[in-house]
Every structure is written in C-alpha cells, then in structure tokens.
Structure 1
Amino acid sequence: MYISLSYSIIEKLKGENLMVTPNPNSEQQVIIERNHEAKIVRRVVMIFLLIFTFTSVGVVYGAYSYIKGSLEPLNPESESTIAVSIPIGSSSTAIARILEENELIKDARIFKFYVKFKNESGFQAGEYALSQSMNLQEIIDILKTGKVIREVKFRLTIPEGLSIPKFAKDVASKTDYTEEEILEKLHDAEYLLSLIEKYEVLDDGILHPNIISPLEGYLHPLTYDFYVENPTIEDIIEKMLVKTDQIYAMYKPTLEEKGLSFHDVLTLASIIERESRLEDDRYKVSSVFHNRIKIGMALQSDVTIMYVDDSIGTIPTFEDTLIDSPYNTYKYPGIPVGPIANPSITAIDAAINPFDMEDLFFYARPNGEVLYSETYAEHLKVKETYEHEWHELDNEE
C-alpha cells in the first residue's frame, strides 16, 4: 500500500511538471526542488505584479477621469442660470463651498486645488449669474472680472465693539434714518418675536426683562453690501443677523462639546472686545476670565459698569462698583445677563478657545498694552506703577 500510494503521489506531481525520484535525499533532487520553488515564486510575483499594475492603472485612470470631469461643465446643455452671492472677504475655500452647494461644480476640493495650482486670485465679491454649462475655468474668470448681476448701490461698514446706542448713532450718520428710528425698531417687541422665529441664533432669552438691548451682541460688525441705494432698517438688521447665524452654525458643534451657550459666549466676547485691542490679548484676557469663573471669582470688569452708566470715567470709583445691575461684574459673579457690545469674530473665538494660562488678573494701559499677573500682590504693583496714566488721560479730557 505504501508503494502504491507513493507511486500515485509521484505520478500526480509529474502531472504538474515536477520531476520526482524515489530518492528524496539525493543532491540532484534538492537542486530540482529548489529550481521548482524558484519557478513558483517567480510565477506568483509575476501574477501579483500584473494585478498591481492593472489595479494601479485603474486607480490612476479613475482619478484622472474624476478630476477631468470636475473641470468640465456639470450640464453642458443647461440654458438656465443660478444666482450666487459671494460675500466680501471670501476665501477660495468659502467660494468653493458656495459653488458646490449651488451645484455649479462637482467637487469643492478640486476647485481649491485647481485655484492653488494655477495661482488664481483676485476673486470679486458680489452676486453672479452662473450656469452649469460653464466649466471650472469659465466660472473662475467670471468671479475674477466681477461681472455681477447687480452693482453694489450702498456699502455699510460697522466698526467692532459698538454698543447698540453707538451702533444706532453710527448707522444714522451713514443713512437717512435717525437714531431714534433705529433704536425704536431694535426694541420693537413684535419685530423681535418675528426675528426669533426666523433666525436659529436667537431665542426668547434676548427678551429677558433685565437685558437693556435685546439684539446687543447679535449684530455682527462687518462691511455689508446692499443692492439698493436706501436699504430699510430691517434690511440692515437682518443682513447682520444672517452673518451672526452663520457664525453660530460654524461654532455650534464646539459649543455643544464644551457645554457653552452662544448667548454667554457673545456676552463674554463683548467684554473681551472692550477690554483688549490686540488679537493675542483677547485670548489671554479670555483665559483670565475663564480662570475666575472656574473658582467662582467675580470678573470685576470696568467696562461692564461703564455700559450701565456711560457717565463713568476711565477709572470707576468704589461707589461705581456698587451699582445694582445684573451687568455689574463687581457685584455679581459669573457672566452678566447679556452682551455689552457687538464683538468681532476674534473676540468670539477667544471666548470659546482661551489660551491656557494661570493668571487671574490683568491691567490694561492707555497705550493698549495689557499686563498679566497670577497673584493680587503682583497685580497691585502693576496698578501702582501705571495707574497715573489713566488719571492723566482723564485730566486731558
């Protein structure tokens, strides 16, 4: 049986083009087996190389086809146009997203890479009439030449850090409306309720009886374009609310992750805006405030009591710090009831993402420099050194 089995195995191996002899220990047999193994390895390697080559060619061709398709019109037969608005200061990333959302390009990433590769720049803000029959380069050319549907008829720049009364004064100086008309609209209960229904960023909290101006902090400072010569007060307000709504949507995941309310963020950001000028300082001042909040320490911000009483000078007195107002951060710990100004995007980001510091005190000099201290003793030394500057400034005024 052993001989029969061995013979059948030998015959089977012979059928696979293998030469096998009854003596497996012979030197010749070892050489033959090694040669055979090498042949098998070469075959396997060749097969894998062929598979890899065909796969690679397929991947490359697929990528090429996708990119080529992304550069071509989405619908060459289209005869209709799509109205697209490109805001002032839009980056290539923002423009790519807008074009993709309006189904004018296939892939925003390809647009960004293409723009970078060709070193395209100088895109113009405005409202455009674009078509799916345009290829990527045609769309880029139109956005660069600024061939808009409508010309900008009125441009309004709102400075950062204005309170609602100062905002009304600023807008009145640039339009035909009076401060009183603007303030009346900003405090119109029926109008405010309609805005709460319309914009996700707003809720009933802005109607809290202790809040001085319901939309304080929500009118984002920026340059806004209008396509009519005399936009209504509502047009101006809602153009700004649209921007704030966009900012809220951008930060919403982070707010939920950190357990923050956007109203509190705007409130803290407005204080940061008024307390500091430079970008780095805004993140540092935010850190000081966050550190105080963590240990239940009052924010003790001068600008909060100045908001309640604008007759207070640059250096509040002890009596000023006793004002009974929910905005008074000397009297009440934590974040106040509402914003005291309309903060910039930098201040908003700083309120959400403060620097990691140990300081509990800061002192702002008239020249804009801000000095930080970990202890009250250190803070007092800084204050004694520089407080005369504020007194001198008060005397000049």
Structure 2
Amino acid sequence: MQQQNEAKKVRKAVLWVLSILFVLFVGLALGLYIYIHSALSPVDEENKKEIIVSVPTGSTVSTIAHMLEDKDLIKNATVFRYYAKFSNLNDFQAGNYEFTKAMSPEEMINRLQEGKVSNKATVKITVPEGRQLDEISTLISKETKFSKEEIEQKLDDKAFINNMKKKYPDLVTSEIDNAKIKHPLEGYLYPATYSFYKKDVSLEEILEAMIEKTNNVIAPYQPEIKKQKTTVHKILTMASLVEEEATDQTDRKKIASVFYNRLEKDMRLQTDPTVLYALGSHKDRVLYKDLEVDSPYNTYKVKGLTPGPIANAGKESIEAALSPEQTDYIYFLATESGEVIFTKTLEEHNKEKEKHITEERFQK
C-alpha cells in the first residue's frame, strides 16, 4: 500500500514537472514566434519615406542585413539573415534600391532578388563639353553641399591628385606636374551626366567618378596613342583646343588638321580660347590688347601646345585630336552664324576676316 502511494506521488511529480516544462516550452515557443513575427514586420507602417540603399557587387546576406539594420529599415539583422537563409532567398542583385520603413523584410528581399533598382538619384550633375574646372566647380556646388572654393581646393590638392595617379596611372601621369600648368586636373573631368544614389556622397567620390569616366573613354585609344608616340596629356590638350574652337556646324577633324599643320610648320597656334584661359575670363570677344597677356597658355606669343588642356573635351574632339583630317589648311575663321571657314593662305584668311569680323575686336 505504501509503495502504491509513493508511486502515485512520483507520477504526480513527474506529471507536474512535465506540465511545467510543457507550459515553459509553449510559452518559449510562443514568445519566440511573437519575437520573430515582430522582427519580420515593418519598422513603421506609416513611414513611406524612401531611403536609398546601395548594395555593392558581391554583398552577402549578412552584409545586406546589417546595412538595412543600420538604416533602421529592419528590426533585427540576425532574424532577417536566418529568414532569408531558411527560405532559400539569397540570390540578391547589386544596385541602388529604394526601401521604406513601411516595407516588410519579405518585400525587401523580393525587391533585392528581382533587381528592382532605384532610378532616382540623390545627386545629379551634368557637365557639358568645353567646360573649365572653375565652371565645373560651379555646377557641382549648385547640386551639392560643397562650396565652389572647397571643390577647387580639392581639385588642386596634392594628396587627391596623387591618389588619382595611383588609381588611374594610364591617364593621370607626371605630365600634370608641370609647373606651368594652372590646374593639374584641368581637362580630366569628362563631360557627361553623373548620377549618385548615396545620400552622403563625398566630394572625392564625385570628382573621381568624372576622372574614372575620362579614363574609361580614353582606354580604347591607348594603343593608338602609343603607336603615334604621343601621350594622353597631349591628346587631351589638343582635344580641348578643338573643343573650344568647335561649333555645332564644325568638322572637328578639320580644326585639328589646322592645329597640327601649324605645329608642323613651326607656327604659333594663335587660338583665342587660350588667351581667354590665360586671362582667366569668359567673354565673347578677344581684343587685340588681350593678346599681350604674358602666359604660357597664350598661343599668340608661345609656340606649341599649351602646357595642358584648357577645358574638358568630348569623344568627338578626342577622336579629332587622334585622327585629324588630312588637309592643307593653315587658318580657320568662325563666323557669327556658327559657320567655320577654312583657308590655306594668310591672304585668303584676311579676306574672310574683313567680311566677317566686326570692329569690336580692333578696339584697344
């Protein structure tokens, strides 16, 4: 009888313990479910403000999870990572994505898998052809938080320049160290539209993107540049002169031919844009008094190419500098209508000048 009572007590104790463990297990499971369910729900269903997230190529699920957590787009990076792993959702594509705090992790994962990248740039800068560094600095300052002075200082900063030399050795060479050069990176910021998706894009990233673009455009021409036994710096310099003299109606290869013909004959290039660059001014007319400016960029006084580019140049002008048309032209003249007249002798040139040049230039 006593043994039966003890057995009953043991069974009751075991049942009691099992009941407690079951309740604890159920409570733990319920708590874990609630925690995971909460972690996989939107951070703020009412907040639909778009946040740009840049996912680099080769990013792991763990990396992306922490990026989203850092931007407060998900509640828990670990839960996000395990959810993606156990759901076999890990084939994410690189790019710039728009997410909101109202989105669930599942929605974000689907977007990452489908590669639905953002087309909205936080910063967009358009740099036209034939623009000088001071003009480009103004364009950048209008679209960013950086001042014109800050941008110009960075472009002339030795540390930044040396960094670009290391990253783009085939483009940015020691030729830009010439003491006669006004700005080492003049002509190295390619004319194009640049879109940036990071909210806090740095000035270095903006400028490097423009230099990298120049590097990418020049790269296919490197074999021809070496074949001609010239340099990228000289090609960019010639291209800038062509770009500054060209109009919409001009054959750039003909302009390049005039410059090369003059160099071959040991004649001064005598191109007005170099005078304006030497003066550091932007104006429609060059006066005779302007031609007296003392500068290595003044091609009315100094023979040969300018020490470096006087502006950026587009692909068409770069190709003209590499492959000029074969002509006998020594002179050209741009009319007010935009037409460019090419001539072979000074006599022919002066006749055209009398027809098309107003008296304004002759003012002292």
User: What TM-score does the superposition give when structure 2 sets the normalisation length?
Assistant: 0.65
- The answer to whether the aligner puts 1:365 opposite 2:335 as a matched pair is yes
1:379 to 342, 349, 358: 349
Distance in 2 of aligned mates of 1:370 and 1:271 = 15
- The answer to whether the aligner puts 1:232 opposite 2:202 as a matched pair is yes
Q: Is the 8 A contact 1:363 1:379 kept in 2?
A: yes
Partner of 1:260: 230
Where 2:172 maps in the other structure, the secondary structure is coil
Partner of 1:316: 286
Instruction: Output the amino acid matched with 1:262.
Output: V
Q: Is the 8 A contact 2:250 2:339 kept in 1?
A: no
% identical equivalent positions = 35
- The answer to whether the aligner puts 1:157 opposite 2:126 as a matched pair is yes
Per the TM alignment, residue 290 of structure 1 is displaced from its structure 2 partner at its CA by 0.9
Per the TM alignment, residue 128 of structure 1 is displaced from its structure 2 partner at its CA by 8.3
Mark the CA change 1:128 to 1:253 in structure 2 (over 3 Å): closer, same or farther. farther
Gaps spanning 5+ residues in structure 2: where?
1-54, 59-93, 98-110
Per the TM alignment, residue 391 of structure 1 is displaced from its structure 2 partner at its CA by 5.8
1:62-73 matches, cutoff 5 A: none
Per the TM alignment, residue 303 of structure 1 is displaced from its structure 2 partner at its CA by 0.5
Distance in 2 of aligned mates of 1:157 and 1:227 = 15
CA RMSD in angstroms, aligned pairs only? 2.7
Distance in 2 of aligned mates of 1:288 and 1:301 = 11
Partner of 1:222: 192
Partner of 1:178: 147
Q: Is the 8 A contact 1:363 1:382 kept in 2?
A: yes
Per the TM alignment, residue 206 of structure 1 is displaced from its structure 2 partner at its CA by 1.1
- The answer to whether the aligner puts 1:199 opposite 2:168 as a matched pair is yes
- The answer to whether the aligner puts 1:283 opposite 2:253 as a matched pair is yes
Mark the CA change 1:222 to 1:312 in structure 2 (over 3 Å): closer, same or farther. closer
Q: Is the 8 A contact 2:249 2:340 kept in 1?
A: no
Distance in 1 of aligned mates of 2:292 and 2:361 = 21
Partner of 1:246: 216
Mark the CA change 1:183 to 1:382 in structure 2 (over 3 Å): closer, same or farther. same
Per the TM alignment, residue 82 of structure 1 is displaced from its structure 2 partner at its CA by 9.2
Q: Is the 8 A contact 2:132 2:186 kept in 1?
A: yes
**Higher RCO (CA 8 Å, separation ≥ 6 residues):** 2
Mark the CA change 1:352 to 1:315 in structure 2 (over 3 Å): closer, same or farther. same
Partner of 2:179: 209
Gaps spanning 5+ residues in structure 1: where?
1-80, 85-125, 130-141
Per the TM alignment, residue 260 of structure 1 is displaced from its structure 2 partner at its CA by 1.6
Number of residue pairs matched by the alignment: 258
1:76-112: per-residue Cα shift (whole Å, max 9, x none)? xxxxx9949xxxxxxxxxxxxxxxxxxxxxxxxxxxx
Partner of 1:167: 136
Q: Is the 8 A contact 2:181 2:308 kept in 1?
A: yes
Q: Is the 8 A contact 1:279 1:346 kept in 2?
A: no
Distance in 2 of aligned mates of 1:128 and 1:228 = 8
Q: Is the 8 A contact 1:83 1:128 kept in 2?
A: no
User: What TM-score does the superposition give when structure 1 sets the normalisation length?
Assistant: 0.60
1:198-232: per-residue Cα shift (whole Å, max 9, x none)? 11210122122111111000000101121213421
Per the TM alignment, residue 281 of structure 1 is displaced from its structure 2 partner at its CA by 2.2
Where 1:319 maps in the other structure, the secondary structure is helix
Q: Is the 8 A contact 1:366 1:390 kept in 2?
A: no
Mark the CA change 1:127 to 1:282 in structure 2 (over 3 Å): closer, same or farther. farther
1:93-172 matches, cutoff 5 A: 127=95, 147-148=116-117, 152-172=121-141
- The answer to whether the aligner puts 1:271 opposite 2:241 as a matched pair is yes
Give the structure with higher Rg (CA): 1
Distance in 2 of aligned mates of 1:146 and 1:346 = 35
Where 2:357 maps in the other structure, the secondary structure is helix
Partner of 1:352: 322
Q: Is the 8 A contact 1:362 1:372 kept in 2?
A: yes
Q: Which stretch of structure 1 is more off in the superposition, 221-230 or 259-268?
A: 221-230
Q: Is the 8 A contact 1:365 1:389 kept in 2?
A: no
1:99-134: per-residue Cα shift (whole Å, max 9, x none)? xxxxxxxxxxxxxxxxxxxxxxxxxxx9489xxxxx
Q: Is the 8 A contact 1:269 1:347 kept in 2?
A: yes
Q: Which stretch of structure 1 is more off in the superposition, 275-284 or 345-354?
A: 275-284
Mark the CA change 1:332 to 1:253 in structure 2 (over 3 Å): closer, same or farther. same
1:34-73 matches, cutoff 5 A: none
Distance in 1 of aligned mates of 2:275 and 2:310 = 10
Distance in 1 of aligned mates of 2:56 and 2:245 = 45
1:19-64: per-residue Cα shift (whole Å, max 9, x none)? xxxxxxxxxxxxxxxxxxxxxxxxxxxxxxxxxxxxxxxxxxxxxx
Q: Is the 8 A contact 2:286 2:361 kept in 1?
A: no
Per the TM alignment, residue 368 of structure 1 is displaced from its structure 2 partner at its CA by 1.5
Partner of 2:91: none
Mark the CA change 1:210 to 1:82 in structure 2 (over 3 Å): closer, same or farther. closer
Distance in 1 of aligned mates of 2:307 and 2:340 = 26
1:240-269: per-residue Cα shift (whole Å, max 9, x none)? 111111122111011011112110111111
Q: Is the 8 A contact 1:154 1:230 kept in 2?
A: no
Partner of 1:340: 310
Mark the CA change 1:165 to 1:327 in structure 2 (over 3 Å): closer, same or farther. same
Instruction: Output the amino acid matched with 2:229.
Output: G
Partner of 2:267: 297
Distance in 2 of aligned mates of 1:381 and 1:308 = 28
Where 1:355 maps in the other structure, the secondary structure is coil
Distance in 1 of aligned mates of 2:336 and 2:359 = 7
Q: Is the 8 A contact 1:312 1:320 kept in 2?
A: no
Distance in 2 of aligned mates of 1:128 and 1:189 = 32
